[in-house]
Chain A
Amino acid sequence: MNDNELKKMEQESAELLYLLREVRDEDNATITPRQCKPHVQKMRRTISPYWLVAASVLGFVLGMAMPRQSATPTDDSPYTLLADTSYTTGRSLAAGDVNFALLVVN
């Protein structure tokens, strides 16, 4: 195809091409661009599992770091409290007995 042939045809069709661009602008005006936030979608996709893993690790670490109750009776353990509150049961407990109601509370 010769360049000049196409150019000549375009010159002869100038009116048509003008109309074509008018139609194009009219068509483009009917488009309502919606919001497009692929970066936001991307963030949601990547951060979500990250937070899940991070929260699990944090929970585990905190769980491990928390002080555990000693199995040995201490001054403020339920065993000691028993001595002061045994009146509620009307009798003293023998050494080594456990007041389960107090255990639940503590």
Chain B
Amino acid sequence: MKRLTANALSALTDAELMQRIGRGEHAAFDTLYNRYARRLGGFFLRMLAYDTAKAEDMVQELFVRVWTYRKEYRSDQPFASWLYAMAYNLCKNEYRHETIRQAYVEELLQREEATHEPTEAMERDEQRQRLRQAVQSLPTAQRDAFLLHYDEELTIPEVAHIVGCPEGTVKSRLYVALESVKRMMNEYK
């Protein structure tokens, strides 16, 4: 297979890059990493209650796995779905996960008590913090489906495949989660 320049590689689809990675092409791996690292970092950040260092470590861990299991990827399945399934499993393996989340929600509550007179910018920041808090305080199953579908923009069948439950269950979780977040945000107003 002909070696391509970095620019040419960045024009390839994820599946095409994976095909090259499967043959051991390092430059294709770097391209894929640059494409997804920040996005996956953000996902880990939200899944692991905003522990930035942990999220960055998880990105490394995830891409080491992508390299290790590169030959197991089948080009007929969407790459994002395959990647997020691995990322989701990494989160599940993170034992401190729940404890961290609880600690973060408590920290947000304390921050809220210490709020001073609101300016417009502060109000906007506070609204965003409220939203983060609302999402973090959802039950784990609802929050996972919510983040995968609305933040990571995966389809409902993809989410169902990743979390291992029927599509109908994912839809119910999304509905309830959305309702809860909306209610929490309205209480704030």
A residues whose Cβ falls under 8 Å from a Cβ of B = 1, 3, 5-6, 9-10, 12-13, 16-17, 19-24, 26-34, 36-39, 41-42
Q: Do the beta carbons of B178 and A9 come within 8 Å of each other?
A: yes
Q: Do the beta carbons of B178 and A13 come within 8 Å of each other?
A: yes
B156-189 vs A, CB cutoff 8 Å, 1 = contact: the mask equals 0000000000001001101100110110010000
Given A31-B37, A39-B24, the answer on whether A20 and B42 have CB atoms closer than 8 Å is no
Interface SS of chain A: helix
**Interface residues of B toward A: which range?**
35 or more
User: How many CB-defined contacts (below 8 Å) exist between A and B?
Assistant: 93
A-B contact pairs, 12 of them (CB 8 A): A3-B171, A17-B150, A20-B135, A23-B132, A30-B45, A31-B38, A31-B55, A33-B41, A33-B56, A36-B60, A38-B64, A39-B24
From 55 to 112 in chain B, residues with beta carbon under 8 angstroms from any chain A beta carbon are 55-56, 59-60, 63-64, 66-68
Determine the distance from Cα of A19 to Cα of B172 in the docked complex, in whole angstroms. 22
B residues whose Cβ falls under 8 Å from a Cβ of A = 24, 26, 29, 33-34, 37-39, 41-42, 45-46, 50, 52, 55-56, 59-60, 63-64, 66-68, 127-128, 131-132, 135, 150-151, 168, 171-172, 174-175, 178-179, 181-182, 185
- Give the chain A neighbours of B55 by CB distance below 8 A: 31
Output the residue of B38, B63, B131, B132 with the most chain A CB within 10 A.
B38
